[in-house]
Structure 1
Amino acid sequence: MTTTLFTEGWTFHRGDAEPGAPVRLPHDAMIGEPRSPESGTDNHGGFFSGGIYVYRKQWAVPQNALRQTYALTFEGVYGKTRVLVNGREVARNDSPYRGFGVPLEGVTPGGTALIEVEVDNRDVPNSRWYTGSGIYRPVWLESAGAVRIARDGVSLVSRSITAGPARTDATVDVAVQIDGPVPAGAKVVVEFAFDGQPVARRKADVDAGIAPLDISVSGAQLWSAEHPHLYDVRVSLVVNDETVDERDLRTGLRTVEVDARRGLRVNGETVLLRGTAVHHDNGPLGAATFSAAEWRRARLLKEAGYNAIRSAHNPLSRAFLDACDELGLYVMDELTDVWFARKTPHDGAPQFRDEWREDAAAMIAEDRNRPSVIMYSIGNEIAEAASAPGVELAQEIHAFFAELDPTRPTTIAVNPLLAMMAARAKPSKNGDDSPPERTSATSTAANMVTAKLGRMMVLASTLPAADKATRDIFASVDIAGYNYGYASYARARKRYPDRVIVGTESMHGDLPAIWKRVTSVPGVIGDFSWTGWDYLGEVGLGYWTYGTEAGGIAKPYPGVLAGCGAFDITGAPGATVLLAQAVWGITGVPGIAVRPVDRAGQRPNKTPWLSTDAVTSWSWRGLEGVADVEVYSAAEKVELLLNGRSLGRRTAGPKKGFVARFRVPYEPGELVAVAYTNGIETGRSSLRSAAETRLRLRAETAVLHGPDDLAYVWVELADEDGIVDAATDDRVTVSIDGPGTIAALGSATPSTLESFVASTRTTFRGRALAIVRGADASGQIVVRVSSERHGDAELILSATGSADAPAPSIATAP
């Protein structure tokens, strides 16, 4: 089978609009739509509008179309989708995160065929977050002969790993499924290579369309988050000594085990998950799934110290999984946020019973050869899981996963407060066995209760009623997943000694208390914070407002962000990253963050999902007053110095939640934090104020490889040393000359009337981010930026015109 990208040469139409605009996929139609309080998506979707869209492409049909079969694979389309070839419907799909195949039949060899994709995403909100619209993930063209290796037809399972004194050997079970009429004598050949060198080869006969075999790899290099070794695997279908089809994969050799006594073990070694959740959007790019953007997110999270990702609340993209395999990140891949009870007016609940098997099978087929995926979540905060029909369905879904992939455990992310609320809901009025009516028992309702009553979700998990509402659903899966329930871990383990526990969702500020339990309560295998990367929609869940500004966790228009990421949507890390690093003990260097000096004296309207509004800056031009400084450290004591003067030492480490707080008069200069344990310095760090600032550009990567690569260009109001002033903002306008385009322009401001697809933007805390997309041509790309008050700047990128990079560009934090 030959697979090539099928992403160029499309036109995009809003409704019946003609002519269409040229577009190269992936493409998010929603990010360019107008925003308003009446948009329909409301707070859930960032006040963007839905719509109906058409994508068209003229396909030049190859001359060999009679001998070869052709098909398209769509990795993801958001909206109710119809695919037509020459006006004839050939496929439908309403599951936005499921890839699907489309046969290209009845076309004329050597002619052209009109491919149309109609996407209807008018019925909003259909999710609790920003979804995007249209063909937001890549499309592939597949060609194969009459007999071929089936799509997703290769299964690789590390059956055993034997570690000896001199080397480690692995045995891999391989099963290859063949489609089409298999000739007598057909064989499958499987070859493993490492770093370009062949290491193992086996051959097997095809029997009834299946070729099973096992292959031994001597001196195996095992995959883990710390050592993500990968093997290249080539699977060949051979008929009469002729190779008629091939499939190339990359996989890692590793085993996963979990039990209540020894916890999670990868390759026999105990692993604690330092995890975080991510949504599927890419900030200023919207939902468009670019490989470079997915790799950048994964890379930055890995560099920050996270070793695990929870997809929230849908299967991760192929590109993100590729990055996790290559970089070394454990993955909890999640099936869905909704079962058969609605959470928003137009979500997928009505069709869930009919479609969950197809969705689950597609996710398993994508994940089963990936070493990064170590467990499956069958749902998130499913209120009906507290009912008998919900428990029955959970058992059915778990059994389905276990049958298709017995090598990975299952979990379900349960919010004990929500489960307790759902269990107390009134019986259904439908006169059947449907679950209780729960118009108020939803994830959003539980969040609102917590926002009003503080620690309600955490405390609720300790109640007998919460245990009663969750015990049956937890017994239906391999691992009990707690959302905001860490206070009950020790009690749950005593009551249920065989229960394995993972924190599927938690607030950043609770990490000190959570990690104490992770490292002391047997059977607790880790934690996933909410969230690792900020996202569009669910507006105001995390960000703080001040004074008379609207508070709460559902903030009004023109809010656009959730505001609760460890990294903001541009990729800048926040204070919660510093807290996590201190709690995990992965650095001896103290981290400094400062509460916004321009908000000093104003009453903050806080939310539980953001533990602090502090930012990593000591540059607040033109301001004076008291500054609240937070120093994050695992050390016993922290000393703070301002312009060489000691401001005293404070206790840090576990006794103070890993943070020492100082209140100091703000003055420009240098702020230094020094960490001490047993009176000995263990590390120091500093922040400095900016001198004279002007507009400056800084690119994370200087070379673009082809039309699907991205360069992230920071637009900063900084001094000559690159120090950005957090109190200075300006309007900037970006233009491009050369073989590239502006894919997006944005900032981390949580509330704005500005568009991510416009060429002008106001900086936030001194920064904006321009994302440049490459092209088919090579040459220089000149990025020019002008500002209203800080001058102009220019930066030159190089474009190779081809996707020949060995791996997506490595990003570094700002």
Structure 2
Amino acid sequence: MQPLPRLAALAAFCLAALPAAFSAAAADGPRERLSFNADWRFHKGEPAAGKADDGAFNDAAWRKLDLPHDWGIEGPFKQEYAGETGKLPWWGVGWYRKHFTLPADDAGRRIYLDIDGAMSNATVFVNGREVGGWPYGYASWRVDLTPHVKAGGENVVAIRLDNPPDSSRWYPGGGIYRNVWLVKTAPVHVAHNGTYVTTPQVASDSALVNVQVTVDNDGADTDVQVATEIYALDKAGRRTGAAVARQDATAAAKVAAGKQVQLTQALAVPNPRLWSTEAPQRYVAVTTVTSKGRAVDQYETPFGIRTIAFDAQRGFLLNGKRVPIQGVCQHHDLGALGTAINVRALERQLEILREMGVNAIRTSHNPPAPELLDLADRMGILIVDEAFDMWGEQKTPNDYHRAFPAWHEKDLRTMVRRDRNHPSVIAWSIGNEIVEQGKPEGWKVAAHLAEIVRGEDRTRPTTAAYNHVSSGYNGFQNAIDLFGYNYKPHEYGKFHASAPHIPMYGSETASTVSSRGEYFFPVSDEKSKGLANFHVSSYDLSAPPWATAPDVEFKGQDDNPFVAGEFVWTGFDYLGEPTPYNADTTNVLNFTDPVQRAKMEKDLADLKKIAIPSRSSYFGIVDLAGFKKDRFWLYQARWRPELPMAHLLPHWNWPERVGQVTPVHLYTSGDEAELFLNGQSLGRKKRGPRDYRLRWDDVKYQPGTLKAVTYRNGKPWAEDTVRTAGAPAKLALSADRDKLQADGADLAFVSVTIADKDGVPVPRTHNRIRFSLTGPGEIVVTDNGDPNSFESFQSKEKNAFNGKVLAIVRTRAGAGGKLVLTATADGMQAAKVVLESTAAQGR
């Protein structure tokens, strides 16, 4: 998949903006950042003969593909695959090779390969020579190709990955799964991630913007200067109007060959437009580097002007205003698309989460793709940027603990330097549920990591996610600036009383589990109940031993208003970790409390007796295909209180339950509601101060129409109705967008709903749906959101899961036109959706 054209357009725009002085010599020519994703060759495993790192190696028989690429998502699923990582073959050795020609006038320029992410233990070879690499699969890193490439001739880059088994607790993917770039600069240039923009003073009439620039000199001894202009950006990231601030060139600084120098400028932006979650307004700092009076580089740094603070009494403050953190944790896979980054797929996830009321994401448990932060900046979403899931102590035998001693500082500094100009980033997390919490000297590691972060950025707090109660009292609480508790709503008050000066938040909360559209009876408030047929009831009351229903966390937050907010586990379902149906649950038993540990071991052992491994999690508020579970509306009711909304559950198709008690729950932002069954009132209920759902627990099922009428302050507010459906009769298709770009990367997500003859959704259907497409595009994957579906994602047909299926359509690069997706099923009326693909114009 290629990156969406707005990234390429931005690169082209940067080049067009460079001054004429750059035309003086090729070696001092303009900076170029070119997509390096196209036309690779791939081979899984070691080649049978020859050395794949040799530039002359014959790779003609290897598979042709474009990056980003995740080899694991192609399957097949196999039950015998060990662990809880999705039952997909993501581990092993893989080779990627690319032949490319550098123009002759690149002689004298610096040539770099920037890799946003490769899973994992990458080694890079150029023309038969090893030139670099990086072990951490979530890191973004650079290799200097200059001494090894030939300008005016053909070159070969080969990248070997070695993804060991037992190296992850969830599905990590395999391959070069993020974007790759070829960067060309003059010998004197802005260093990799070499700008640092801060806004130390912000007022309504003026903001002080400091721009620190690190300049590398890979040529002869020289002098350098920098000058900066600041422009406002529109929503699409384009400059608007003239520069709002300008600082002329600094005094010339001498820099020796092979050295670097830091130069700083301060600019005043009048009447600044502040970045916020409601209005994510941005600027760009355009830095021009000159050497001996000639411009040699220009570098653009998007940023935002805003103030942030975490206060131990008031929570999180954005531009001086308290903003409750309404967050979710997100793993990095894109469901059926795997881990291969796609901007539109990420954007769709964020759009769905924003609809629910989400304003924050914790990147669990690793540095995210750069594109996620770009989208968060543009959409006004707060980010807690997380570095590690473990330190020196393992969670799985081959995980990051092996690289931690030698690489943790490089990885941490690389993450902070890459991400510190993003206004969306509000905190740096140094770790998640690390085993060292239980070690007497473990806090010293936390303090060491926090100091590394502060050495790169002091404008944001350091934080960590702690799942041990003891971490609030054994020194870990003092090692970081912002304390995060995982699944401890009952501890908020105790911690605050012991450390009233330390701000805190729920770094991981709830972990409620459910399967979309599944409801089991009788309904129990015991969190260990509601499990059947390898599914979990969607009454939203079930949770693993360490977790709670959402209502419990809500109460913990409301009873302790000093808590800054929460990050729910998780926004979307993800591949792997199918709790409570885990194949191997030992990695969650890292509790020091013997009573709690013994209870967990017993509960989990009982589950393992009946469990088979599922492919994906049950934690998501949204399922793997992007379909909303009932919990979506529970959180929306809380997080968007001014939105008139009501949502009833369960569905109302229970022919086997006529006359039996079938509890009804209502999620609403109203404060009172009346329930009607076939026009007869079943009672009016008013929400209490700690009621987060309204319940009618004694409703006896009769087919027909169930309706809720809600009120707010005594006035009508919102309604919801569920009806008993007839037999499946037709398919209904709905695309998230019908206008696409013919760039080879843009996607349409097409939902299929099975309906009766009157168009009422039929919820308990699992019919086989077949897809076909005409026009310049392809059906990339299909999914249904069922955690127990082991059919290939690449299949063009899929069984519905509780009445729904998803097909993802991708455009063809350079080929515009009409795309028609058709869905068919035996005994039902077929349906079509028409999409239009046009030449890429940038978005």
TM-score (norm 1): 0.84
Letter in structure 2 aligned against 1:190 = E
The 1:254–1:678 alpha-carbon spacing in structure 2 relative to 1, beyond 3 Å, is: closer
2:226 aligned with 1:187? yes
Q: Distance in 1 between matches of 2:171 and 2:699?
A: 40
Structure-1 residue corresponding to 2:342: 290
Structure-2 residue corresponding to 1:783: 821
TM-superposed deviation, 1:282: 0.5
The 1:530–1:269 alpha-carbon spacing in structure 2 relative to 1, beyond 3 Å, is: same
Moved more, 312-321 or 42-51: 42-51
Structure-to-structure mapping, 1:59-98, within 5 angstroms: 59-98=100-139
Structure-2 residue corresponding to 1:109: 151
Structure-to-structure mapping, 1:97-496, within 5 angstroms: 97-105=138-146, 106-121=148-163, 123-163=164-204, 168-180=205-217, 181=219, 183-184=222-223, 186-195=225-234, 196-197=240-241, 198-205=243-250, 207=253, 208=255, 209-239=261-291, 242-416=294-468, 461=469, 466=470, 470-496=473-499
2:37 aligned with 1:7? yes
TM-score (norm 2): 0.81
The 1:47–1:239 alpha-carbon spacing in structure 2 relative to 1, beyond 3 Å, is: closer
Letter in structure 2 aligned against 1:12 = F
Query: Match of 2:766, SS?
Result: coil
Q: Distance in 1 between matches of 2:167 and 2:316?
A: 35
TM-superposed deviation, 1:265: 1.5
How many residues matched?
A: 724
TM-superposed deviation, 1:93: 1.6
Q: Which runs of 5+ in 1 are unaligned?
A: 417-460, 544-548, 596-616, 807-814
Q: Distance in 2 between matches of 1:575 and 1:557?
A: 25
**Superposition RMSD on alpha carbons, in Å?**
2.6
TM-superposed deviation, 1:302: 1.4
Query: Match of 1:475, SS?
Result: helix
Q: Distance in 1 between matches of 2:623 and 2:673?
A: 27
TM-superposed deviation, 1:327: 0.7
Q: Distance in 2 between matches of 1:663 and 1:46?
A: 41
Structure-2 residue corresponding to 1:582: 637
Query: Match of 1:186, SS?
Result: strand
Q: Distance in 2 between matches of 1:797 and 1:635?
A: 38
Letter in structure 1 aligned against 2:494 = R
TM-superposed deviation, 1:176: 1.0
Deviations 1:614-669 (A, max 9, x none): xxx44678985644321013544321123433222234353433332344344554
TM-superposed deviation, 1:303: 1.7
Q: Distance in 2 between matches of 1:341 and 1:308?
A: 29
Structure-2 residue corresponding to 1:708: 745
Structure-2 residue corresponding to 1:433: none
Contact 1:35–1:49 (8 Å) recurs in 2 = no
Contact 1:63–1:110 (8 Å) recurs in 2 = yes
Query: Aligned match of 2:696 in 661, 666, 671?
Result: 661
Moved more, 622-631 or 351-360: 622-631
The 1:31–1:185 alpha-carbon spacing in structure 2 relative to 1, beyond 3 Å, is: closer
The 1:559–1:522 alpha-carbon spacing in structure 2 relative to 1, beyond 3 Å, is: closer
Structure-2 residue corresponding to 1:38: 80
2:70 aligned with 1:28? yes
The 1:579–1:108 alpha-carbon spacing in structure 2 relative to 1, beyond 3 Å, is: same
Query: Aligned match of 2:803 in 763, 766, 785?
Result: 766
Q: Percent identity?
A: 32
Structure-2 residue corresponding to 1:812: none
Query: Match of 2:346, SS?
Result: helix
2:571 aligned with 1:529? no
TM-superposed deviation, 1:396: 0.6
Contact 1:590–1:674 (8 Å) recurs in 2 = no
Structure-2 residue corresponding to 1:693: 729
Structure-1 residue corresponding to 2:13: none
Letter in structure 1 aligned against 2:285 = V
TM-superposed deviation, 1:51: 2.6
Structure-to-structure mapping, 1:582-661, within 5 angstroms: 582-584=637-639, 586-587=641-642, 589-595=644-650, 617-618=651-652, 626=660, 627-661=662-696
Letter in structure 2 aligned against 1:733 = R
TM-superposed deviation, 1:670: 3.6
Contact 1:703–1:799 (8 Å) recurs in 2 = yes
Moved more, 266-275 or 200-209: 200-209
Letter in structure 2 aligned against 1:193 = A
Letter in structure 1 aligned against 2:338 = G
Letter in structure 2 aligned against 1:784 = T
TM-superposed deviation, 1:720: 7.4
Query: Match of 1:650, SS?
Result: strand
TM-superposed deviation, 1:540: 3.0
Moved more, 308-317 or 78-87: 78-87
2:557 aligned with 1:518? yes
Q: Distance in 2 between matches of 1:721 and 1:321?
A: 44
TM-superposed deviation, 1:147: 1.2
Q: Distance in 1 between matches of 2:737 and 2:439?
A: 52
The 1:555–1:103 alpha-carbon spacing in structure 2 relative to 1, beyond 3 Å, is: farther
Letter in structure 2 aligned against 1:204 = A
Moved more, 102-111 or 305-314: 102-111
Deviations 1:326-383 (A, max 9, x none): 1111111111111111111211112212111111111101211001000011100012
TM-superposed deviation, 1:721: 7.4
Query: Match of 1:664, SS?
Result: coil
TM-superposed deviation, 1:569: 1.3
The 1:185–1:655 alpha-carbon spacing in structure 2 relative to 1, beyond 3 Å, is: closer
Q: Distance in 2 between matches of 1:185 and 1:675?
A: 67
Letter in structure 2 aligned against 1:202 = Q
Q: Distance in 2 between matches of 1:566 and 1:222?
A: 31
Structure-to-structure mapping, 1:45-60, within 5 angstroms: 45-46=86-87, 48=89, 50-60=91-101
Q: Distance in 2 between matches of 1:126 and 1:4?
A: 32
Q: Distance in 2 between matches of 1:319 and 1:286?
A: 16
Q: Distance in 1 between matches of 2:186 and 2:640?
A: 55
Q: Distance in 2 between matches of 1:67 and 1:738?
A: 46
The 1:53–1:661 alpha-carbon spacing in structure 2 relative to 1, beyond 3 Å, is: farther
Q: Which runs of 5+ in 2 are unaligned?
A: 1-30, 49-58, 235-239, 256-260, 513-547, 583-603
Moved more, 775-784 or 718-727: 718-727
TM-superposed deviation, 1:394: 0.6
Contact 1:328–1:372 (8 Å) recurs in 2 = yes
The 1:194–1:350 alpha-carbon spacing in structure 2 relative to 1, beyond 3 Å, is: closer
